[in-house]
Structure 1
Amino acid sequence: MSNYKKKRGDKNPIRLTPEGYIKIVHEREHILKVKLPEIREELQKAKGFEKEALEREKKFMLGRVLLLGQWINNSQIIEPTPIDLSKVSTSELHAELVKREGVREIIVTPEESLPMTKWEENGRWTPFPAVQGPARILINED
């Protein structure tokens, strides 16, 4: 166990992809260069409840600028490492794909046989060898 004691002000780095970092920087710039000047301009004309609402929005935007600045200052840029799927077992891939939206599974028991057809480019269905169970078939409708 580490003897390191976290001091006040120590920040955990925020891990961001290069694309994520750029999005945060752009959002902060947009607030500073576009949103806040628009709000300040509207505040000069506003009265009553509208003015109060604009003041709240201005405070929110300033808070957001501070938060984004902290994220930028404490960010650690990471490069996503591609996963070598050749090292993942077929059963693990299957289990993950079944969870996905747009994927259905057909389970063929050992005593069943599932006749199949295949759609050809000429616009016709042609017989395909029947699947004899046990089998688990994934249909990707995505």
Structure 2
Amino acid sequence: MNENAHKQIAWDSVVCLIVDDDKFSRTFIKTALYQIGIKNAKEASTTEEALELLHSFKIDVILLDQQMPERNGLDLAKELRGDQTESGSGTPIIMITVDTKERTVLDAKDLGIQEYLVKPISPLALKKRICTALGLAPERM
């Protein structure tokens, strides 16, 4: 059992990185985070920006879109998981996307992506996925 499973979480101390090329989606996710008590969210519109932020800040959870113009979310996850020296290599990843193809879901699992959420999302669903990704028991939400 995960050692964090019985701990309370201080939601205002959690730092999330939202990686999505769509400004509206980033704003929507940031609002959902705010509603569940997470006030510290960094935003990246490209995978390159995401890598820069991962090098600059301690990120607790990555909220990652799959479909982006230059490099998709799976490519970023593969890079992070493949290079153990990379910042963010062990950071939990939650894929938030409109992509419901079975192959994409299986590829995400194979890359160690902890959770998968299909847009549109609700704050409660996001909170549950973050708890699971951080190894927290649902009753501690």
TM range (shorter): under 0.3
TM-score by length of 1: 0.22
Higher relative CO (Cα under 8 Å, sequence separation at least 6) belongs to 2
TM-score by length of 2: 0.22
Structure with higher Rg: it is 1
